[in-house]
Each structure stands twice: as structure tokens, then as C-alpha cells.
Chain A
Amino acid sequence: MKLVVWLHAALLLFAVGCAQLGLQGPQTQPQRIAAGYLTVQTFAETADQALLTGQITKTDAKNLVAGSRVAIEGLDVASMAFAKDCPTAAPACTSAAADAKLNATLAALGALQAYLVGQQAAHAPAAAASGSK
């Protein structure tokens, strides 16, 4: 259960841009897209650690790989939409299409995170038992 709490705390920490540590959160669309890619990276690395420590199965990991690739594709589409609608990348320019795709992708990432947490919770007792041998 502690792990679940820490996982949520860590991803929330990233989502709010570490404001309390003096780090600035993403504001423009390119910044939000970059934050999305970094979130996928954090997510994949965390899932890899969970796999290597036996907290999720290889099947879980394969599902997470597929979901992560879909998230990357979503961020790619958002990035292309922004490039199309804001070719000069003026700071005030926003793309409604990029925004919609970005929001949908971030929601999907949230669902993926919930899946990872669920799988870790399901396998935690087995991992704890094997770790105490």
C-alpha cells in the first residue's frame, strides 16, 4: 500500500511541476507536450523497475508497453497539430486540435498509471513473500 501511495505522490509531483521545489510547471503547448513525453519516460522506467523487482508480470509489462506507445503516438499527433496551427511557434499561439489530443492522451496516461498501480498492488504480496526468503 505504501508503494501505491508513493507512486501517486511521485507522478503528482511531476504533474504539478514541482512547484514547491521552485520548478516551473509546463505552460505553453510545446512545454505540455514535452512534459507528456517525460511523463511517459518516467512511467516506462517505473514499470521497468516494477518488472525487474517482480512487482508486475511480463504480460503486464507488455500491456504497459502497448499503452505507452499509444501515448507517444497521441503526443506526436498533438505536436504535429501544434506545428500546423502555430507554424511560427509564437508564445501566445495555441492549437485547439493539439489541446484536445493532449488532454485525451494525458487522460489515457492516467488510466495507464491506474493499471500499473493495480497490477503492482495485485502482485505486491507475492513480491514481498519472495523478498523475505
Chain B
Amino acid sequence: MGTGTVLAIQLVTAALQHASELNQLVLTAQAQGRDITPEELAAVRAKAVSAIDKLEADAA
């Protein structure tokens, strides 16, 4: 299997996991009669920043 194909599979898997994560957040909030809270947004933001930090470290 080529490098591009492996990366493509990882990319699709990551996109699906994150879409599923968002869906879970939305469903949980809806079940409680509310929208996503600022605390939940902050947690999602922290993961994004962490991924950027890792990219930055690997690029150093």
C-alpha cells in the first residue's frame, strides 16, 4: 500500500472520528435541552491547539 493511500485512510478516519465527536456533543446537549456550552467549546478548542502544537514541534 502506498504512502499516499495510508495517509488518505488516516485522514478519512480522523475526519469521521471528529464528525462523530461533534455529533456526540450535539446529541448530548440536545438531550439536556441546551446547546454546546462555552466549556465544551473550550475543550474542543484545546484539542485543536494541541494538534497545532504537535505539528509545530515536528516541524521544528
Contact = CB atoms under 8 A, between A and B. Distances in A.
Contact of B45 (A37, A42, A45): A37
Contacts of A35: 22
A17 B18 CA distance: 10
Interface of B: 2-8, 10-12, 14-16, 18-23, 25-27, 34-38, 40-41, 44-45, 47-49, 51-52, 54-56, 58-60
Contacts, number: 160
A76 B56 CA distance: 20
Given A9-B12, A89-B37, A128-B4, 15 more contacts: A3-B8, A6-B4, A30-B36, A30-B41, A34-B36, A34-B41, A34-B44, A38-B21, A39-B18, A40-B51, A51-B55, A61-B58, A68-B52, A72-B49, A131-B3
A133 to B, nearest CB: 12
**Interface of chain A, main secondary structure:** helix
Nearest to B10: A49
A127 B3 contact: yes
Contacts of B54: 44, 48
Contacts of B22: 17, 23, 26, 31, 34-35, 38
A24 B27 contact: yes
Interface residues of A, number: 57
A65 interface: yes
A39 B44 CA distance: 10
Interface string A111-125: 000000000000010
